[in-house]
Amino acid sequence: VLIHIILFIITTILDLLLMHTLKGFTTSSSQTAKLPEYWEVTYVDDVEILHFDSNSRKTKAKLDWVDNITAKDPEFWKRENENNIVNEQVSKVNIEIAKEHFNHTGGVHLIQRMYGCEWDEETGEVDGWEHYSYDSEDFISFEPRTTRWIAAHPQASITKNKLDQVGLNEHKKYSLTEICPFFLKNHVINGQDFLMRTELPTVSLLQKTPSSPVTCHATGFYPATSALFWRKDDEELHEDVEMVQLLPNHDGTFQTTAHLRVEVTPDAEGEYECVFQLAGVKEAVVVKLDKQVKEILVASAVSLWVLALLTAGLAVVLVKHGRTKQGEGCQDLVFREDPKRTSRPCATCDKKSS
């Protein structure tokens, strides 16, 4: 059963690896102090590549390889900047129209637009989407396959009717399913070395107190397509496991977290493992929650409790643990597993105990 589960996960991840996406996010705001009234960011395969805001009024590349697109399209930056400036002006009109629909006269209000396309490198299939929200509630969206606008809010019916009457739905479909994939493919080609690389994560086990959940945290991995899960006796756990949303790191890698919300008894400690599977990498990173690791986590929790007492101004006597001559030692609150090693649970602890 375990082999079938692992094969299914690997197959699913590899399928996702062949799917590329270009996503754009815009935000228009009214009466927001110290923030741009309009900004737009563009992502390829969940990596930010372009940024524009109403303060700078200049489209900027977030990665060097993005500039390579000008080799085939010398007017790219000029056209991109002009389009964003036009979008900024249109957004100001849109937010005033939305305020009228909702009878809003003042205060802070937001219009967010999410658009983009996906391209399956294996099959060649493409698809696109465009969604609008007002004050964080779904407002209206465009569906390329049916070439129609869909009102997600009663107040959006007026907007839907006007957009249908303008007669630009076919153009909108062409933009999302032809133009968008064209640029997506060019960006994927230009950034192939960066986008197709693999970086294994540091996987850590953390626990605040002996009775709190055990957290498995993986950070520094790329691509984003991955799977992190807890398993017991070689079977994946679904109940009592809380997943945290995938988040980007500042260096272009990603992080994710899985909380194990069960009380692990001493007899069952060795039965639990945190498993991380990265797209394009056959071997998983496995961190076993054994007695030794559990003791590290509990000791770390005590250290944090002592620190809290010191912060409160209470007199506490601390006992410092010695380190080896090389300055090695188990880190407080964090148990790290080298991605290249999946059997021994704590190298520094092994060295200290030897």
pLDDT digits (tens, 9 = 90+) for 243-291: 999 999 988 899 999 999 988 777 766 789 999 999 889 899 999 987 5
- Determine the 3-state secondary structure of 3 from DSSP: helix
Q: Tell the residue number behind the tokens 């410092």, with chain if given.
A: 320
Q: Tell the residue number behind the tokens 């900024």, with chain if given.
A: 88
- Determine the 3-state secondary structure of 224 from DSSP: coil
All structural domains of the chain with their residue ranges? 17-195, 202-353
Q: Are 153 and 59 in contact (CB under 8 A)?
A: no
CB-based contacts of 72: which residues, under 8 Å, 6+ apart?
186
Per-residue model confidence (pLDDT) at position 244: 93
Per-residue model confidence (pLDDT) at position 324: 30
The one-letter amino acid at 257? T
Domains 17-195 and 202-353 share a fold: no
The Cα 320–Cα 311 span in angstroms is: 18
Per-residue model confidence (pLDDT) at position 348: 32
Q: How many helices and strands, by DSSP H and E, does the chain display? A: 8, 17
The Cα 25–Cα 27 span in angstroms is: 7
Per-residue model confidence (pLDDT) at position 261: 92
pTM above 0.75, yes or no: no
Per-residue model confidence (pLDDT) at position 349: 34
Per-residue model confidence (pLDDT) at position 297: 55
What are the residue ranges in the chain where pLDDT is below 50?
Answer: 1-16, 298-354
Per-residue model confidence (pLDDT) at position 35: 86
In the sheet that 241-248 helps form, which strands lie side by side, from edge to edge?
241-248, 254-260, 214-221, 202-206, 335-337
Class for the domain spanning 202-353: mainly beta
* CATH code of the domain occupying 17-195: 3.30.500.10
Cis peptide bond upstream of 223, omega within 30: yes
